[in-house]
Amino acid sequence: MTTTGDSNHIIREITPLSDKDCFYIVERYKTEFTYPLHCHAEYELTFIEKGAGVKRIVGDSVEVIGDYDLVLITGKDLEHVWEQHTCVSSKIREITIQFSSDLFNQSLLNKNQFDSIHKMLESASMGISFPMDAILKVYDKLNTLASEKEGFYAVIKFLTILYELSHCENARTLASSSFARMELNADSRRVKKVQEYINSHYTEEIRLHQMADLAGMTPVAFSRFFKLRTGKSLSDFIIDIRLGYAARQLVDSTHSISEICFACGFNNLSNFNRIFKKKKGCSPKEFRDNYRKTKILF
């Protein structure tokens, strides 16, 4: 496994995936996680078993996992790592499947039968975590994929895993769109218009009546409409966008936390610290320190 360092000192992994193979799979039994924060061009599905206490970082998402973890990442610049943290298991099992973004060409992805996989791969640019019921649904196939002797049947089994995961209703995106530098997709023209405005004006004060006017609705009707379409209130959505940009600056810049706070649209440092800790599970300082600790400096 080869690595290179980019300008942000994040390891860019050069994976062993061959141009002649549909995917690369490795199954490991280990007692600890030692590989540092990294990213790579290839898509990656990672399954962890008996890893309770491991800390998973995907972009600005920092979570401690339970015994089972299944994550799909398709963002080529999305930093991620699994850290030992408080895990004491001596029987950690890790299955990593890496595949190229051109495994599915656009013509294939545009077919009706691949629509759900297409949408899942797009969402996974921010990382997707799958719940236990989805893990159980694909466990038998994951469990035997590495030992499948016939390459053709291995590919069919892998495609089936992706297809079944793409129908999971409770999968969660991990990194925020603003941290992952991803465009927001919305089915509703009105919602997309509002989201694009917030993404461009997050440093400014944004009022409910402004967004309602932008959508051509009353404030009360717009509030209900926006929550129904996005699953978030307008205020929560604005906070998440601002936090994503703030987290990105904490990683990529040397600006002080106070400077970042005000540059990202927050008007009170203590409020920013409180909201950041509530949403991210750690303070801005801890978040920045954790990223610096998991990087390799060249």
CATH topology (fold) of 2-173: Jelly Rolls (2.60.120)
Q: In this predicted structure, what is the pLDDT of residue 9?
A: 57
From 18, 11, 14, select the one nearest 1 (Cα to Cα).
14
Own/partner pairs for 15-20, CB < 8 Å, 24+ apart? 15/40, 15/41, 15/42, 15/98, 17/42, 17/98, 17/99, 17/100
Domain ranges of the chain: 2-173, 178-294
From 52, 59, 7, select the one nearest 253 (Cα to Cα).
7
Q: In this predicted structure, what is the pLDDT of residue 111?
A: 86
pLDDT band at 180 (very low <50, low <70, confident <90, very high): confident
pLDDT tens-digit map of 186-241: 668 899 999 999 999 999 999 999 999 999 999 999 999 999 988 899 999 999 99
Q: In this predicted structure, what is the pLDDT of residue 10?
A: 67
- Alpha carbon distance 158, 138 (integer Å): 10
Mean pLDDT value across residues 84-103: 94
Residue with tokens 């989201």: 195
CATH, domain 178-294, list 1.10.10.60, 1.10.357.10, 3.20.20.70, 3.40.50.1370: 1.10.10.60
